[in-house]
A and B are shown apart, each in its own frame.
Chain A
């Protein structure tokens, strides 16, 4: 038994990240061996720094990976995280051991449920999911627009996907064209604002960018096949 589903999600992400870093360190070390650590006269060669750095990454990330897999986090809980935890009511409940599932965001379903059986957490399994900024809602909370974490997760994916698509559209629509579309998409679709203000704001933003970057600084932004801006 570990913490809440959200927290377990974090632990999985942690394991994945440390796993990737371990692989990165190993890869760097192996490739660096190919570059050669030393040149003639035992001079520093091209492989020395990446090799040593890669080896150290391998060791540390591997160690952290093992710790995460075993459910032990090393001294990760103290200072800031606790301060934030204390300041955020819902997550305080988490750490003080409420065992009723649900809590503040019960309506969002058990999968993304707010608090959990924190009592079963090992004492050093700190509130790792708490970022160091005060004021914002916790990971498991509904935000001021009433969005559940699940919705926010979808939003995140939507925004990033839109960014990628916008970049891919640059050759077609031009730089300003595709980022106008991006801005419109984020305002009107992701943030669900009305279309007219979204249009106006997006247009003004792109116009400002055009004025500063193209007009004043003379940056040759690609115009695309349709030839917008530039």
Chain B
């Protein structure tokens, strides 16, 4: 019941009545000819989080770049928030076979199944394109005695270091856990709920360290209220003047790099023509100015991976996450 309703909901949301009447079957019939796939009418981009957040920004930006890359396609963003993304992904699971629905995906795609509360995992969907990596920086208050991440690790051997995290499945908890596994020290955790709360706690001296996305902390960083000790990324943020001087954790001898990815999923069970269409569309989309703008505004690293490469990436990332979250 629920499935058929939401399938209809997504495909026909903006269509005229006549089209809507048979919208339920469009997913199966559209690419059936074996030839080219063209979405019929507007496409829905599900954002499994609320408006205004990072996932929403990504979803809206993706919609804009798809429209810029292919003038024939209109994209409507639809927020389906709830259950830390579980509601949106589960609704998307019900869209199987409907190639006129996409989803703006991120690490919750992997973290939710590992937590064991949901019925899907990433193999239930069709990965289209990884758009970017959002790494984190280890941040301390400007008054902090530490200058590098190594200093923090050394200090943690003898004293209590309080780390703020934004939740058990948060990227920050993952990099801290990886750091602990790598170096054998232990950080004390205090759970918060957002980057904003962590920033406030850092500034107020409630916690010693936090691990934040550059986009979340750049304002404080530029104002000199906090300092970044290292970047948990493969490479330095050399594209960004204001971040280029930050050494990576690897440079400082801590072999940890972990990103939150941003990407686009299509539902499972779509035919090859539709999959090809979306991969080609997204490959064109990442060439647009809109894409560049999105990357720069949010201080992301433009590491893309299309189709099968995205799947390979997800496999590796999933194993790593499993180690951290279950171990």
Contacts and interface: CB of A to CB of B under 8 A. Distances in A.
Interface of A: 170-171, 218, 220, 222-228, 230
A220 B20 contact: no
A220 B13 contact: yes
Q: Which secondary structure dominates where chain A touches chain B?
A: loop
B76 A223 contact: no
A77 to B, nearest CB: 43
B17 A222 contact: no
B116 to A, nearest CB: 15
A228 B17 contact: yes
Given A218-B76, A220-B44, A220-B78, A227 B5 contact: no
A210 to B, nearest CB: 12
A223 B44 contact: no
B21 interface: yes
Chain B contact residues: over half helix, strand or loop, or mixed? helix
Interface string B8-41: 1110111101101101100000000000000000
Given A218-B76, A230-B20, A223 B1 contact: no
B21 A227 contact: yes
Given A220-B78, A223-B12, A171 B5 contact: yes
Chain B interface: which size bin? 20 to 34
Contacts of B6: 222
A223 B8 contact: yes
Contact of A230 (B2, B15, B44, B76): B15
Interface of B: 1-2, 4-6, 8-10, 12-15, 17-18, 20-21, 23-24, 44, 76, 78
Nearest to A170: B5
Contacts of B20: 223, 227, 230
Given A223-B8, A227-B23, 12 more contacts: A170-B5, A171-B1, A171-B2, A220-B78, A223-B9, A223-B23, A224-B5, A224-B8, A230-B13, A230-B14, A230-B17, A230-B20
Contacts of B15: 230
A220 B18 CA distance: 17
12 contacts: A170-B5, A171-B4, A218-B76, A220-B44, A220-B76, A222-B8, A223-B12, A223-B13, A224-B5, A227-B20, A227-B23, A230-B13
A225 to B, nearest CB: 7
Contacts of B8: 171, 222-225
Given A171-B4, A227-B17, A220 B24 contact: no
Nearest to B22: A227
Contacts of A171: 1-2, 4-5, 8
